[in-house]
């Protein structure tokens, strides 16, 4: 009986851990008609090098809803200067989502470009991912700065919250992968 109760206790503890809020925060730190900045962080229980390695294996954690092909397995990041955050499409097609301009394995990766529908706008984007040691693992930081002319009502400011939601969701998925959830 005691071992059954103990087992039940472990199962309940495991369920509670799964229900605890993730340590991910995301916010629009600035936005106006000509641009916006998104800042997000996540605490994960792995080393910066492990987090970086999982990050560049983007097909394992990126939400397929936010791909052109509908399949995250078609995504890749060539984590070196000049490398591509790319996606293969049917019939030999491809997409360059962003280009790597700075790569320091286990520390930082910077990419430039406009994600998704921002590609067809007159904008420049810079996305920096950082991986810093922290108690119990590491902190992943994400900053995405977009500036330029975006057509439509509200300009760039109207895009800030949706982009924040998508990137925050992606960081949440990476965090869950690294946390074993």
Q: What pLDDT is recorded for position 153?
A: 86
Confidence at residue 143, expressed as pLDDT on a 0 to 100 scale? 99
Residue 6 located in a structural domain: no
13 is a domain residue: no
3-state secondary structure labels for all residues of the chain: CHHHHHHHHHHHHHHHHHHCCCCEEEEEEEEECCEEEEEEEEEECCCHHHHHHHHHCHHHCCCHHHCCCCCHHHEEECCCCCCEEEEECHHHCEEEEEEEEEEECCCEEEEECCCHHHHHCEEEEEEEEEEEEECCEEEEEEEEEEEEECCCCCCCHHHHHHHHHHHHHHHHHHHHHHCCC
Which residues, given as ranges, of the chain have pLDDT below 50?
A: 1-21
Q: Has residue 1 been placed in a domain? A: no
Give the strand order in the sheet containing 75-77.
24-32, 35-44, 137-149, 122-134, 108-112, 94-104, 84-88, 75-77
How far apart CA 44 and CA 99 sit, in angstroms, is 26
CATH of the domain at 172: 3.30.530.20
Does 156 fall in a domain?
yes
Domain around 28: 24-178
Decide if 88 is inside a domain.
yes
pLDDT at 88: 98
Which pLDDT belongs to residue 152? Answer: 84
Q: Which residues contact 154 (CB under 8 A, 6 or more apart)?
A: 33
- How many residues comprise the chain? 181
Decide if 146 is inside a domain: yes
Is 153 part of any domain?
A: yes
Tell me which residue has tokens 């509200």. Answer: 154
Predicted local confidence at residue 139, as pLDDT: 98
Q: What was the pLDDT predicted at 9? A: 41
In a domain, 59, yes or no: yes
The rounded Cα 117 to chain-centroid distance in angstroms is 17
Q: Rounded CA gap, 27 and 138, in Å?
A: 20
- Domain total of the chain: 1
């Amino acid at each position: 009986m005691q071992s059954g109760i103990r087992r039940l206790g472990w199962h309940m503890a495991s369920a509670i851990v799964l229900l605890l809020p993730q340590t991910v925060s995301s916010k629009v730190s600035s936005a106006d008609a000509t641009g916006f900045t998104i800042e997000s962080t996540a605490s994960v229980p792995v080393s910066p090098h492990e987090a970086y390695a999982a990050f560049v294996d983007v097909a394992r954690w990126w939400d397929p809803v936010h791909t052109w092909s509908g399949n995250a397995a078609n995504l890749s990041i060539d984590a070196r200067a000049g490398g591509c955050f790319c996606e293969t499409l049917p019939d030999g097609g491809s997409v360059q989502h962003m280009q790597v301009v700075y790569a320091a394995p286990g520390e930082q990766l910077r990419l430039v470009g406009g994600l998704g529908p921002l590609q067809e706008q007159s904008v420049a984007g810079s996305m920096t991912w950082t991986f810093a040691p922290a108690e119990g693992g590491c902190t992943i930081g994400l900053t995405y700065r977009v500036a330029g002319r975006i057509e439509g009502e509200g300009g760039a400011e109207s895009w800030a919250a949706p982009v924040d939601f998508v990137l925050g969701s992606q960081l949440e998925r990476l965090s869950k992968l690294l946390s074993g959830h």
